[in-house]
Amino acid sequence: MSTTVLDPSSRAHATSRYRTAVVAGHTLAYREVGDPDRPTLVLLHGFPTSSHMYRGLMAELADEYHLIAPDHLGFGASDAPPADQVRYTFELLTELTLGLLDHLGLDRFALYIQDYGAPIGLRIAARHPERITSIITQSGNAYEEGFTPFWEPLVTYAKARAAGELPDDTAVRALLTPDATRWQYTHGVPADRLDRISPDNWILDQAGLDRPGNVEIQLDLFADYLFNLDEYPAFHEMFRKHRPPLLAVWGRGDEIFGPAGARAFSRDLPDARIYLLDTGHFALETHLPEITRLVRQFLRGAIGDAQ
């Protein structure tokens, strides 16, 4: 009979660490896994979730990579100062994310972006392309083609707020309800994969949305999202000039950012690897093994080439 002895250090690196750092006066929470001496992957979450969305992928990749996933200000375990004290914008979230990465001494890293994480991560990449080894996008939009009818009430609301009006916010407030949160996880998912999605996802996300004052935070970010499009030309220029290796892993049934948004990356990055999976907006919940395999293969090539 043979006995296998596990390396204690490898077990330690596979264990998630839940930490905080103070950046510009705000306490930001982040989860970390893997050996800091290995190549780093920074994972930026979307709405209405937190770094929790990456728990499975981080555990799968911890044997080979160092992974950092922050909670944006107003989300997860990070501070959520009231919207009448802090002006919530994607520019602010970008500055805080950069501040956290600098605090952690992360000078070179790959990015994994999803939903809200895209305008944050791509701002960082456009301004500091020398720090980026590669980009993975999962329903992380950078082209107008990705927008679907889902966005129509949000665009109307944002334009009215920008004009100084007091718009009817009934339609956008509906996006903060339990039914809407659950829908984000289940829409576009084939019936035979629905049982892979833990209800813990929308229960946890809704608990965050229901905290006192959080509705106002989310309404401010809804109003600001439209202005991310002003940054798109800079993102596209960065793609063309610096040619970062890019992997797009997208839900074919995503009704928030449609698959046309994934295909559009090939316009400026002809070598982009684009995979459409039979799922919706939160593809990691239904296709973790498939995405893990694609990400691992991609990073081995992209990071190796960048070194």
Burial degree of 23 (CB within 10 A; 0-12, 13-18, 19+): buried
Tell me the C-alpha distance between 199 and 177, whole Å. Answer: 15
E-assigned strands of the chain? 17-23, 26-33, 40-44, 66-70, 109-113, 132-137, 246-251, 273-277
Report the DSSP pairing between strands 26-33 and 66-70.
antiparallel
Residue that has been written with the tokens 């909670």 in this structure: 71
Residue 88: which region, alpha, beta or left (left: phi > 0; alpha: psi -120 to 50)? beta
Q: How are beta strands 40-44 and 26-33 bridged, if at all?
A: unpaired
Q: Is 281 considered catalytic here? A: yes
Catalytic residue among 13, 45, 52, 281: 281
DSSP 177-219: SHHHHHHHHHTT--GGGGGGS-THHHHHHHHHHTSTTHHHHHH
Q: Three-class SS of residue 278?
A: coil
In the block, tokens 């439209």 appear at: 226
Q: Are 145 and 263 in contact (CB under 8 A)?
A: yes
Residues labelled catalytic? 281
